[in-house]
């Protein structure tokens, strides 16, 4: 591999502070932020920024103010495609754990509360043959739909900006429905849309109330797509049966009450967290950096 230039690595593997990020924009030609590196408009307000590229290490880029970066002539790239399967696997894991109460079961056993098999012990919900409603049917939503349909014979409903290809629709026997119909019919609702002003609190108290009382909500997308306080209330009052969450509105903080709910599976934003995927994300970010330095068009340029 060619020598790209001097590289300064954040050795701590922790989020950078606003000051560190501002310094990076002043001192480096290319900055590689991650989902935890908040880059709001004010970060780009300084003069003589040196950075010309933000090669984001991740597919989601809602932590970067694209317009403010573009106004300063800074391009943004992401890493699509390489984390599809890993994230779909976590959605699948959360669905199974939420439906089959496996987190709760393990806590029960480890706490020494298990006294042997009983006919009515820890009864849960079967998943096979049930209906999965996907909000967002891009790469990750489609990969999850495939696992659920082919692996567990689930019926697939989806709500998306556009219909999926005919081949995918035929393969997975999908039904393209309105958001309201999806919420009313699905046994499991899974979020796979990006965080945008339009999807902020897409699932609010009113929409959660459309779901069936035995339904479960899965979120591996972004925390703010759900009104987390409304979700806690919906779970506390039995509006829905359970939830599996890998993302939260104010990571790493959880809304009051969430941690205490037994019927919620909580994971620390692990969707893309396999060694294979994180390596592939790094290589993909690097491919964008290489193209930028060579003056070529960048494969994953994000439009403001």
Active site residues: 222, 251, 269
The yes or no reply on residue 35 touching ligand DGY (CB under 6 A) is yes
When the beta carbons of 151 and 268 are compared against ligand DGY, the nearer one is 268
Rounded CA-CA distance 225/143 in Å is: 20
Sheet strand arrangement including 174-176: 174-176, 155-159, 131-135, 188-191, 216-219, 242-245, 264-266
Under the binding rule (CB under 6 A), the answer on residue 60 touching ligand DGY is yes
The answer to whether residue 272 forms part of the interface with ligand DGY (CB under 6 A) is yes
Q: Is 231 in the site for ligand DGY (CB under 6 A)?
A: no
Contact flag: residue 218 with ligand DGY (CB under 6 A): no
CB of 9 to ligand DGY, least distance (A): 18
Q: Which is nearer to ligand DGY, 101 or 192 (CB)?
A: 192
* Number of residues forming the site for ligand DGY (CB under 6 A): 7
58 binds ligand DGY (CB under 6 A): yes
Calculate the CA 294 to chain-centre distance. 32
Among 28, 53, 69, 83, binds ligand DGY (CB under 6 A): 83
94 scored as a contact of ligand DGY (CB under 6 A): no
Task: Please report how close the Cβ of residue 164 comes to ligand DGY at its closest, in angstroms.
Answer: 21
33 binding ligand DGY? (CB under 6 A): no
Residue 164 within binding range of ligand DGY, rule CB under 6 A:
no
- Rounded to a whole number of angstroms, the minimum distance from the CB of residue 62 to ligand DGY is 8
Q: Is 186 in the site for ligand DGY (CB under 6 A)?
A: no
Instruction: Kindly indicate which of the ranges 56-64, 116-124, 143-151, 290-298 contains the residues binding ligand DGY, using the contact rule CB under 6 A.
Output: 56-64
Query: Is residue 289 close enough to count as binding ligand DGY by CB under 6 A?
Result: no
Distances in whole angstroms, Cα of residue 227 to Cα of each of 98, 206, 276, 280: 19, 10, 32, 32
Choose between 84 and 160: whose C-beta lies nearer to ligand DGY: 84
Establish if 59 lies at the interface with ligand DGY (CB under 6 A): yes
The footprint of ligand DGY (CB under 6 A) covers: 35, 58-60, 83, 271-272
């Amino acid at each position: 591999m060619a020598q790209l230039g001097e590289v300064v690595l954040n050795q701590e593997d922790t989020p950078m502070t606003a000051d560190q990020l501002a310094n990076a924009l002043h001192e480096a030609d290319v900055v590689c932020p991650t989902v935890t590196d908040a880059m709001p408009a004010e970060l780009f307000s300084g003069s003589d920024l040196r950075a010309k590229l933000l090669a984001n290490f991740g597919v989601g880029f809602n932590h970067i103010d694209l317009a403010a970066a573009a106004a300063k002539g800074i391009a943004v790239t992401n890493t699509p495609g390489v984390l599809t399967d890993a994230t779909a696997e976590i959605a699948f894991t959360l669905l199974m754990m939420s439906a089959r109460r496996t987190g709760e079961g393990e806590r029960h056993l480890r706490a020494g509360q298990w006294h042997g098999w009983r006919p009515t012990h820890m009864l849960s919900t079967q998943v096979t043959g049930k209906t999965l409603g996907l909000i967002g049917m891009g790469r990750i939503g489609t990969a999850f739909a495939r696992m659920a349909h082919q692996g567990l014979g689930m019926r697939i409903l989806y709500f998306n900006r556009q219909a999926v290809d005919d081949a995918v629709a035929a393969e997975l026997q999908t039904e393209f429905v309105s958001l309201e119909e999806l919420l009313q019919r699905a046994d499991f609702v899974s979020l796979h849309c990006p965080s945008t002003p339009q999807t902020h609190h897409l699932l609010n108290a009113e929409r959660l109330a459309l779901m069936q009382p035995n339904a479960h909500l899965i979120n591996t997308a972004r925390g703010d797509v759900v009104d987390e306080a409304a979700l806690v209330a919906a779970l506390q009052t039995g509006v829905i049966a359970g939830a599996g969450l890998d993302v939260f509105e104010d990571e790493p903080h959880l809304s009051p009450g969430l941690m205490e709910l037994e019927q919620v599976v909580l994971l620390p934003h692990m969707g893309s967290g396999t060694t294979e995927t994180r390596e592939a994300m790094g290589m993909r970010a690097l491919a964008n950096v290489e193209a930028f330095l060579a003056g070529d068009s960048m494969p994953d340029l994000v439009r403001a």
